[in-house]
Amino acid sequence: MKFLDQAKIYLRSGDGGDGVVAFRREKYVEFGGPDGGNGGRGGNIIFKAVPNLNTLIDFRYTQHFRARKGGNGAGSDRTGAKADDVIINVPIGTQIFDESRETMLADLDADGKEILLCRGGDGGYGNAYYKTSTNRAPRRADKGWPGEERWVWLRLKLIADIGLVGLPNAGKSTLLSVSSRAKPKIADYPFTTLHPQLGVVRLSMTEEFIIADIPGLIEGASDGAGLGDRFLGHVERCAALIHLLDGTEKHLVKNYRLIRTELERYDATLADKPEIIVLNKCDALTPQQISAKKRALEKAAGTEIFLLSAVSHDGLEKLLRAAQDRVRSLKQS
């Protein structure tokens, strides 16, 4: 299944049904009077977050959603039928913006959360509604009220507990593959990951968390370089970040600061999230190199540095346990 995290769609709720002019006509009823019924309500457009979706790909092929018109009224004071609502299922984490993409209309961040975005038009009144003591035979009936229409943008932000960030080829996809059952593409060239990937990490029967891998960032990503910062929105909801660094790179501290700069340019709140810094590919380093690089990173970041070899799994359990503890503590606070 292809991944799509943005889509523009057209919505149109149903018009209300028309009221009618009718008069009662029965044998032996001398003064039947007006009995035209009201029109029915038009269908609403409702969005609902469901757990079995993780992409907006369906909206690439279906971009127009229209609800039906309400039924017209009829004689004998019969009200027209109410039109069915159109319920649009979207992945959990979907945000809905207006056409300008500046105003957020809804944030469907929980299973089952709903939003009525376009209300169906009310039905028009039949002539029975206008009957009064002085106007006993009205011949007035109203058309149904029109429904609402609008273009909206959908943007998906994946729901994950831990987000993986780092330069291309830092080993993020390898870490995701060895810590969960996810099967991301892995290769020895940059930008192997072209769209976000999710994996569920299970440490025990009762301990698990969701980890998200996004495409690697490079210098100038906030200005659109590489794949840009388009996918950073998928880690905005994460409780913490795992910042993965390639231990075989020469300019390790520079690379660390580069990613921190891109995070801050994208969103200061994202840069303020708790961060677990990991020195990866330690299997390709000597003990002396590991010690020197770890000291340099600790001095630059001012926090503990985790050592990892995602290929040999050395340090993997300690890292995942730290991530689980971080997620638990943040959820309890």
166 is an annotated ligand-binding site residue: yes
100 is an annotated ligand-binding site residue: no
245 is an annotated ligand-binding site residue: no
213 is an annotated ligand-binding site residue: yes
302 is an annotated ligand-binding site residue: no
Q: How far is CA 120 from CA 43, 84, 101, 129, 213, in A?
A: 5, 10, 24, 21, 41
| Strand ranges for 81-170 from DSSP E | 86-91, 94-98, 104-108, 114-118, 149-156, 162-165
156 is an annotated ligand-binding site residue: no
192 is an annotated ligand-binding site residue: yes
111 is an annotated ligand-binding site residue: no
204 is an annotated ligand-binding site residue: no
193 is an annotated ligand-binding site residue: yes
Q: CB-based contacts of 100: which residues, under 8 Å, 6+ apart?
A: none
- 319 token code pair: 């890292």
Burial degree of 274 (CB within 10 A; 0-12, 13-18, 19+): middle
195 is an annotated ligand-binding site residue: yes
48 is an annotated ligand-binding site residue: no
329 is an annotated ligand-binding site residue: no
167 is an annotated ligand-binding site residue: yes
215 is an annotated ligand-binding site residue: yes
* Strands, sheet with 149-156, edge to edge from the N-terminal-most edge strand: 64-66, 6-12, 149-156, 94-98, 104-108
81 is an annotated ligand-binding site residue: no
Q: How far apart are CA 61 and CA 2, in angstroms?
A: 12
Which residues are known binding-site members for GTP?
166-173, 191-195, 213-216, 280-283, 309-311
Annotated binding site: 166-173, 191-195, 213-216, 280-283, 309-311
Annotated binding site for Mg(2+): 173, 193
